[in-house]
Amino acid sequence: MKKNTRVIKNALIIASCIVLLLTILPIKSNAASETSPLEKQSWPFKGILGHFDKTSLRRGYEVYTQVCAACHGMRFLHYRDLRELGYSKAQVVALAALNEVEDGPNDEGEYYSRLALPSDIFISPFPNDAAARVANNNVLPPDLSLMVAEKAAQGGADFIYALMIGYKEAPEGSELKEGLYYNTAFKGQEIAMPPPLFEDIIDFSDGTEASIQQMGFDVAQFLAWAADPSLEQRKRIGLRVIIFLGIFLIIAIMYKRRVWTRAHS
Amino acid sequence: MTKKQEMTQKQTNKTLQNPILKWIDDRLPIIGLLQREYIDYPTPRNVNYFWSFGAIATIMLLVMIVTGLVLAMQYTAHVDLAFSSVQRIMRDVNYGWLLRTIHMNGASMFFLAVYIHLYRGMYYGSYKKPRELLWILGVVIFLLMMATAFTGYVLPWGQMSYWAATVITNLFSAIPIIGEQVVAFLWGGFSVDNPTLNRFFVLHFLLPFVILAVVFLHIAALHVTGSNNPDGIDVKSARDTLPFHPYITSKDSLAILVFAIGYAMVVFYAPNFLNHPDNAIPANPLSTPEHIVPEWYFLPFYAILRAIPNKLLGVLGLFGGVAILFFLPFLDRSKIRSCRYRPLYRWLLWLFVIDTMFLGWLGSKPAEEPYILWARLGTVYYFGFFLVLTPLISLIERPAKLPASISEPVLKTSDHPRDS
Ligand code: HEM
């Protein structure tokens, strides 16, 4: 009799844990349902010891500056952050100097333009949102710094990849509005971004062939890094913290056992 | 000093061997106090691991205060700068990402610990005489925690921050006659804007210290009556208790470490799991998100709000869902504390726990059928449990036989029903 109630009770506890999980999970998966399921890429930054592939990140940065930066800013990144992609100090200075920024006022009270420094944030293609809209059919190209975090519910980096390779002919009979393009990954399938990538649109400096898949993969990984630059450090520290706590837990278990044997005698 | 006080102080003083501690204690009897309350404090010997969640909650409060203070040194409470100051913390401040993820997920872990703590109190009847005030102080803490979490969630000024603030503050407009004025007063203007963010920051900074003060009262009240225990019967002799140290301290340390490992897994491997992705988008008053979803720990009450078609009644339901806990000690007429010995109430309470989780799940769903109907049923059970079942069940329930004392089943392990 007693044993029975215990079994039922344990079952109830497990059931309530499952309900609790169900409470939390759907928050994540609300938005994903409308588009076709994503192909999952094997990202090196997943998993307990995940890390970014630096050569891929550098290629991703090339895709970003040579293609996406025509329309999208990344206002939370500084050129100095590129050091984390494996560029040397001199290389970062040179990469920054490919861009011009407005500065001022100087001692004469004038505004002037100068070459960007590593301490500058990535320059934006447009001076303000209104200018960005006017240039893009009245749709604002969003800032990409946190794009992968924003799209966490749709798959994060997998979503970016799917978006990059998702441009297709519109199916028979459907009519696209002026300035919209058919993309299987985008919600509603009609996106205002013109297909940004074409075969060999850029020359990768490491000689990798610039297929759409390759560029999509690299730029997605680059954006994943941009949204979560502390990922590698976090996972490394995390493992140590958990091992450390685990050792203490073992000691605590032994101590507790020893102390409590006295209580039962 | 009365004769009695003098004697108790002498007693603890005698055990103080260290001359420096003794010197301090003769002038400020704090060492003896700590000794009595945290070393000798007699605790029922049968308390289980659910009794560790008070200690876990205390640690979480301290973690939140420490990480929060450091974050506040880098955060800027201004609508134009708040979002980027948080990004600065995440990217440029040394270990800023660590502080922020600890703080952000700490809120969830804190609520998790307190929810378990609270249901523990309900299951074992810890709210009943003589612990009513202890319980009421606990509910006060719970309310303060909700206010703290809500104001804190607004600070990063993402889309969810902004829209949650808008939705929740707008609830007050349901108050008849003065509603609109109350809302304008909360906002400090005509919409959620810079003054709102500023005052929310002030409140979010202040409230944890208020909580800390109430926690002191909570523990002071606990140490007047002593801890309840899984059998829900009073301590009858010294054999029923064990000194807090080393027995409970060793047990609590173990529980705290297990909890900390779970916490670390979230912080280091799923730091954004509980975070709404829309909060990675800076607040934009011109674009309303598709679904406005509060943090998980508010969801059951959010579901109650949306289940009730009338706005004013909905708001009353939302706050009533928490406030009703204040009255639990007086609604429950049974003399038996622990559900171990309450064969009917035990099941009603489990059903209540599941109902709350079910409501939480519904709160994360869009406000459409069938979820609304389900939420109405869940709401009926939620309030029915407190207002009808809890007061009336004791009329028909026949409690099981209580053990003669706490130590009886523990020390005679052979016939201890729970070890069979
Ligand atoms: C900041 C949040 C809180 C902290 C830090 C806290 C802390 C504590 C501590 C350290 C204990 C003694 C250990 C234990 O029995 O677990 C305790 C006991 C207790 N707490 Fe809390 N508590 C909090 C919130 C609450 C809430 C929200 C409630 C209920 C509404 C509550 C109700 C109780 C009761 C009834 C006891 C006595 C338990 C017993 O002896 O069986 N507490 N609390």
Average pLDDT on A224-244 reads 97
Does residue B170 belong to any structural domain of this protein? yes
Ligand 1, atom 24, lies closest to the CA of B138
Does residue A117 belong to any structural domain of this protein? no
Catalytic residue, candidates B25, B240, B252, B355: B252
User: Which of ligand 1's atoms lies nearest the C-alpha of B127?
Assistant: 35
Cα of A80 to nearest chain B Cα, Å: 11
Task: Identify the CATH number of the domain in which residue A38 sits.
Answer: 1.10.760.10
Model pLDDT, residue B74:
97
Task: Indicate the SS3 state at residue A233.
Answer: helix
Whether B58 and B135 share a structural domain: yes
Ligand 1, atom 31, lies closest to the CA of B138
Whether B324 and B360 share a structural domain: yes
How far is it, in rounded angstroms, from Cα A117 to Cα A127?
19
Does residue B420 belong to any structural domain of this protein? no
How far is it, in rounded angstroms, from Cα B381 to Cα B112?
22
Ligand 1, atom 16, lies closest to the CA of B54
Average predicted confidence (pLDDT) for chain B: 93
Whether B311 and B360 share a structural domain: yes
Whether A236 and A212 share a structural domain: no
Q: Which residue range is the domain that position B365 belongs to?
A: 296-404
Distance B58 CA to ligand 1 centre (A): 9
* DSSP string across A97-114: TTSEEEE---TTS--EEE
Whether B274 and B206 share a structural domain: yes
Q: What is the 3-state secondary structure (H, E, C) of chain B?
A: CCHHHHHHHHHHHHHCCCHHHHHHHHHCCHHHHHHHHHHHCEEECCCCHHHHHHHHHHHHHHHHHHHHHHHHCCCCCCCCCHHHHHHHHHHCCCCHHHHHHHHHHHHHHHHHHHHHHHHHHHHCCCCCCCCHHHHHHHHHHHHHHHHHHHHHHHCCCEHHHHHHHHHHHHHHHHCCCCHHHHHHHHHCCCCCCHHHHHHHHHHHHHHHHHHHHHHHHHHHHHHHHCCCCCCCCCCCCHHHEEEHHHHHHHHHHHHHHHHHHHHHHHHHHCCCCCCCHHHHCECCCCCCCCCCCCCHHHHHHHHHHHHCCCHHHHHHHHHHHHHHHHHHHHHCCCCCCCHHHCCCHHHHHHHHHHHHHHHHHHHCCCCCCCHHHHHHHHHHHHHHHHHHHHHHHHHHCCCCCCCCCCHHHHHCHHHCHHHC
Q: Which residues of B touch A20 (CB under 8 A)?
A: 357, 360
Whether B199 and B341 share a structural domain: no
Catalytic residue, candidates B25, B231, B295, B332: B295
> Could you tell me which residue, A181 or B411, shows the higher pLDDT?
A181
Distance B215 CA to ligand 1 centre (A): 8
Question: Minimum mean pLDDT among A21-30, A149-158, B259-268, B344-353: which range?
Answer: A21-30
Residues 6 or more apart whose CB falls under 8 angstroms from that of B121 comprise B127, B135, B138, B228
Does residue B121 belong to any structural domain of this protein? yes
Q: Which residues of A touch B344 (CB under 8 A)?
A: none
> What's the Cα-to-Cα distance from A52 to each of A65, A180, A232, rounded to whole Å?
19, 34, 7
Nearest Cα to B196, choosing from B156, B158, B151? Answer: B151
Do B300 and B359 contact (CB within 8 A), yes or no?
A: yes
Whether B260 and B189 share a structural domain: yes
Do B296 and A24 make contact, defined as CB atoms within 8 angstroms?
yes
Pick from A3, A22, A145: CB nearest B420: A3
Q: Indicate whether B11 pLDDT > 70.
A: no
Do A246 and B281 make contact, defined as CB atoms within 8 angstroms?
no
Q: Which residue range is the domain that position A23 belongs to?
A: 1-27+232-265
Interface test with B, best of A82, A146, A265 (most B CBs within 10 A): A146
Catalytic residue, candidates B103, B117, B204, B251: B251
Task: Identify the CATH number of the domain in which residue B398 sits.
Answer: 1.10.287
B 68-87 near A (Cβ less than 8 A) = 84, 87
Whether A152 and A223 share a structural domain: yes
Do A61 and A85 contact (CB within 8 A), yes or no?
A: yes
Helix crossing, B179-187 with B159-170: angle to 10°?
Answer: 150
Whether B49 and B101 share a structural domain: yes
Does residue A257 belong to any structural domain of this protein? yes
Whether A187 and A200 share a structural domain: yes
Do A238 and B84 make contact, defined as CB atoms within 8 angstroms?
no
Average pLDDT on A195-204 reads 94
Does residue B172 belong to any structural domain of this protein? yes
B227 as an active site residue: the answer is: yes
Does residue B364 belong to any structural domain of this protein? yes
Count of structural domains, chain B? 2
Average pLDDT on A97-113 reads 94
Does residue A122 belong to any structural domain of this protein? no
Whether A44 and A148 share a structural domain: yes
Ligand 1, atom 13, lies closest to the CA of B54
How far is it, in rounded angstroms, from Cα B403 to Cα A243?
43
Cα of A20 to nearest chain B Cα, Å: 6
Ligand 1, atom 29, lies closest to the CA of B138
- pLDDT-derived band at A32 (thresholds 50, 70, 90) equals very low
- Sign of the dihedral defined by the CA atoms of residues A184, A185, A189, A193, in that order: negative
> Could you tell me which residue, B4 or B273, shows the higher pLDDT?
B273
Residue from B120, B218, B223, B339 whose mutation best tests the ligand 1 pocket (most atoms within 8 A of CB): B218
A230 in reach of chain B (CB within 8 A): yes
Whether A161 and A195 share a structural domain: yes
Whether A198 and A183 share a structural domain: yes
Whether B352 and B372 share a structural domain: yes
Whether B50 and B89 share a structural domain: yes
- Residues present in chain A in total: 265
H or E element, residue A191: strand A190-191
Whether B150 and B267 share a structural domain: yes
Whether A189 and A225 share a structural domain: yes
Does residue A93 belong to any structural domain of this protein? no
Does residue B71 belong to any structural domain of this protein? yes
Does residue A12 belong to any structural domain of this protein? yes
Distance of CA B313 to the CA centre of its chain: 25
Average pLDDT on A149-171 reads 93
Does residue A94 belong to any structural domain of this protein? no
A 169-228 near B (Cβ less than 8 A) = 227
Cα of A47 to nearest chain B Cα, Å: 8
Place of tokens 């109630």: A5
Q: Which residues of B touch A2 (CB under 8 A)?
A: 417-418, 420
Whether B320 and B385 share a structural domain: yes
Does residue B10 belong to any structural domain of this protein? no
Q: Can you read off the two tokens belonging to residue B273?
A: 């799991």
Whether A197 and A240 share a structural domain: no
Longest Cα separation, chain B = 72
Q: Can you read off the two tokens belonging to residue B180?
A: 């609109």
Q: Can you read off the two tokens belonging to residue B348?
A: 């009603």
ipTM of the complex: 0.88
Which residues approach ligand 1 with their CB closer than 6 A? B 51, 53-55, 57-58, 61, 114, 117-118, 121, 124, 126-127, 131, 134-135, 138-139, 141-142, 211, 215, 218-219, 222, 227-228, 325
A10-22 per-position pLDDT tens digit: 666 666 666 666 5
Among B254, B277, B294, residue at a domain's last position? B294
Whether A43 and A152 share a structural domain: yes
Cα of B282 to nearest chain A Cα, Å: 10
Q: Can you read off the two tokens belonging to residue A87?
A: 């560029």
Model pLDDT, residue A4:
58
Do A220 and A164 contact (CB within 8 A), yes or no?
A: yes
Whether B265 and B325 share a structural domain: no
How far is it, in rounded angstroms, from Cα A12 to Cα A4?
12
Do B372 and B307 contact (CB within 8 A), yes or no?
A: yes
Whether A162 and A211 share a structural domain: yes
Do A260 and B250 make contact, defined as CB atoms within 8 angstroms?
yes
Ligand 1, atom 5, lies closest to the CA of B58
Whether A262 and A162 share a structural domain: no
Exposed, middle or buried: residue B383 (CB in 10 Å: 0-12, 13-18, 19+)? middle
User: Which of ligand 1's atoms lies nearest the C-alpha of B139?
Assistant: 30
Residue type, A109: G
Among B267, B294, B321, residue at a domain's last position? B294
Other beta carbons within 10 Å of A199: 10
> Against a cut of 0.95, is the pTM above it?
no
B147-189 per-position pLDDT tens digit: 999 999 999 999 999 999 999 999 999 999 999 999 999 999 9
Does residue A218 belong to any structural domain of this protein? yes
Do A259 and B246 make contact, defined as CB atoms within 8 angstroms?
yes
How far is it, in rounded angstroms, from Cα B323 to Cα B316?
10
Does residue A95 belong to any structural domain of this protein? no
Average pLDDT on A111-134 reads 95
Task: Identify the CATH number of the domain in which residue B245 sits.
Answer: 1.20.810.10
Does residue B358 belong to any structural domain of this protein? yes
- pLDDT-derived band at A210 (thresholds 50, 70, 90) equals very high
Do A255 and B365 make contact, defined as CB atoms within 8 angstroms?
no
Beta-bridged to residue A182, according to DSSP, are A190
Whether A48 and A148 share a structural domain: yes
Do B269 and A20 make contact, defined as CB atoms within 8 angstroms?
no
Model pLDDT, residue A40:
84
Residues 6 or more apart whose CB falls under 8 angstroms from that of B338 comprise B123, B124, B125, B229, B230, B231, B232, B233
Count of structural domains, chain A? 2
Residues 6 or more apart whose CB falls under 8 angstroms from that of B93 comprise B74, B99
* DSSP string across A12-48: HHHHHHHHHHHHHHHHHHSGGGGSPPPPPP--TT-ST
Q: Indicate whether B35 pLDDT > 50.
A: yes
How far is it, in rounded angstroms, from Cα B59 to Cα B378?
33
Average pLDDT on B220-242 reads 95
A 153-172 near B (Cβ less than 8 A) = 153
Catalytic residue, candidates B223, B245, B311, B365: B223
Q: Indicate whether A2 pLDDT > 60.
A: no
- Sign of the dihedral defined by the CA atoms of residues A172, A174, A177, A179, in that order: negative
A14 in reach of chain B (CB within 8 A): no
Percentage of chain B surpassing pLDDT 70?
A: 94
